[in-house]
A and B are shown apart, each in its own frame.
Chain A
C-alpha cells in the first residue's frame, strides 16, 4: 500500500464521517436510520451529497476577497452558498446525482 493510500484509508475511516472527511472511496451516509455507504468509484460523493442535499438555508460564506479565496475557474458571485463551494471544489461543475448515489444516500428517494 502506498503512503497516499494510507492517508486515504485514514481519511475514509474517520473522515468519512462525511465530515471527518472521507478521502478514499467515501464512506457516506445512506439514511438517517443507520446505514453507511461505501462507494468504490465515487470519491467525491461527500462533496456532491453536500451540494445536492444541502438543506434549505444552508450556510453561506462571503468575504471581501471571495474571488481570490475560492479561485475556481470562471466568475463567482460575491455571495457564495457553501453548498456550491463544495461542488465546485469537488468536481468542477454541478453533477446530477447518479442512481447509485441516489440509492445510497436515501435522501433523494423521497
Chain B
C-alpha cells in the first residue's frame, strides 16, 4: 500500500511516518515502538498506558523494516539510511528478537499471561492461543531479507550474508516443519503449548495464508500453489456471496498484492474490480483506495523498482478485459516515468525527467528475442514467482526519451 502513496507523490509523507515509528523504538518497551501515534507526536492513549502496558503485535517491527526497504527502493532517498532508521533496523533484528525469543529458537514468542503486549500474530482474536503465528515468521523473514539488503547497499557484506542466512533458515524451517502434508497446507501457528494444532480456530482474516505469500516465505512449487489455490477458492466464494469477503475489506486488500505478485492476473483484476465496486461494504476505508492505486501501478502495469539502483522493471499483467493501459508521471527515484502496455505485446517507456535510467522490459511467455525500437535483440528468459516464464531485455533510456519494446516486429 505504501506503493499507492508513492505513486500519488506522497513518498515524503510516508518516510516521515516511518521515521516516527523508527524513532520510538526503546529498550523500556522491550524494543517495540509505538503502535499508534497521534498528531501531537505522542502514543495514542487508546492502546498505550505506559512503557510497561501497551498494545503490540509482534510482526509490527518487522513489517515496518520491510516497508522501509520497499520505499527506499522506490525513492532511493538516503533518509532511509540515516541514524534513526539504521538504529531501528539493527535493534529490530537483534535486540528485539533476543527480547521476545524466550526459548532461544530464533522465533519470537507470546507466553501465557502476556495478553495484549507482544501478540505473536496479527490475528488478535487468537492472542491467547498462539505462541508463534505463521504471519510472524513471515514478517521476520522479510525483515531479515530487507536488513541484509540495506547492509549490502552499505557495503557491509558480512552483515548482509549473516542475515541472508538467517532468513533462509526461517524459510527452511517454515517450509519443512510447518508443512502439514496430510492437509496439503501449512499449519497456521504454534500453540502456546509449543505444538501445532490443526484444529486451531480459523481466523476469518486468514493472515496465516495471506502473509507467508505476501512476504514470499513459501517455497516455489506445489506449496505456494496450494496456498494460492486456497486463497483463490475463497475469493471465488466471496464473489458469489458479494459481501462475504475474506477477512473483511481489510483482509481483502492484501489480495491484489499477493495474486499479482505470483502472476495470477485474472484474480488480480477480479479483486481490483471488486474493491472498486460502489456496493462494497467499507469501501471508504483508505486501504481500499491505496491498494487499488498501488496495484494498478505495480500489479496490472507491473512497474517496480529494481534492487539494482537506477533500474525499473515493467511486466504487464493485462487480462482480456484490458486492451491497453497507461500510467503517466510515476515518480521513481530521481526520475518521473510513463509506461504504456498493449495486449498485442508492446510496451513503451518514457523517461519524462531525471537522469538516464535502466528499463528491464519484461513480458509473459518465452521468446528468444524482442524488438527494441523495431530492432531485433536477443532476449533472456527467467521464471517468475508463481512459475510463469518471462522474456526480458534491459535497455537504458535517456532523459526525455521514449523507447518501445515489443514481442513482434512493428508491434
Complex contact B289–A50 (CB within 8 A): yes
A43 touching B205, Cβ below 8 Å: no
Contacts of A57 in B (CB 8 A): 329, 336
Tell me if A's interface is mostly helix, strand, loop or mixed: mixed
Instruction: Say whether B200 faces chain A, with CB atoms less than 8 Å apart.
Output: no
B16 close to A (CB within 8 Å): yes
**Within the assembled complex, what's the spacing in Å between the Cα atoms of A70 and B251?**
20
Say if the beta carbon of A3 comes within 8 Å of chain B: yes
Pick the residue among A9, A18, A82 that contacts B13 (CB under 8 A): A18
Residues of A within 8 A of B18 (CB): 17
CA distance A32 to B251 in the complex (A): 30
Q: Are B204 and A86 in contact (CB under 8 A)?
A: no
Are A29 and B9 interface neighbours, CB within 8 A? no
How big is the A interface, by class? Answer: 35 or more
- Residues on A with beta carbons closer than 8 Å to the beta carbon of B285: 8, 23, 43-44
The interface on chain B, measured as residues whose beta carbon lies within 8 A of the other chain's beta carbons, has a size of: 80
Given contacts A11-B253, A54-B9, A63-B324, contact A18 B17 (CB under 8 A): yes
- Verify A38–B39 contact, CB threshold 8 A: yes
Q: Are A3 and B123 in contact (CB under 8 A)?
A: yes
- Min CB distance, A104 to chain B, in Å? 5
Measured CB to CB, the nearest residue on chain B to A83 is: B8
Residues on B with C-beta less than 8 A from A90 are: 284, 286, 288-289
Contact indicator B6/A19 (Cβ below 8 Å):
yes
B-side contacts of A22, CB under 8 Å? 286-287
Q: Does B365 contact A (CB under 8 A)?
A: no
Interface set of B (CB-CB < 8 Å, partner A): 1-10, 12-14, 16-20, 35-41, 44, 47, 55, 57, 59-60, 63-64, 67, 71, 122-125, 203-205, 207, 247-248, 250-251, 253, 272-273, 275-278, 283-294, 296-297, 321-331, 336
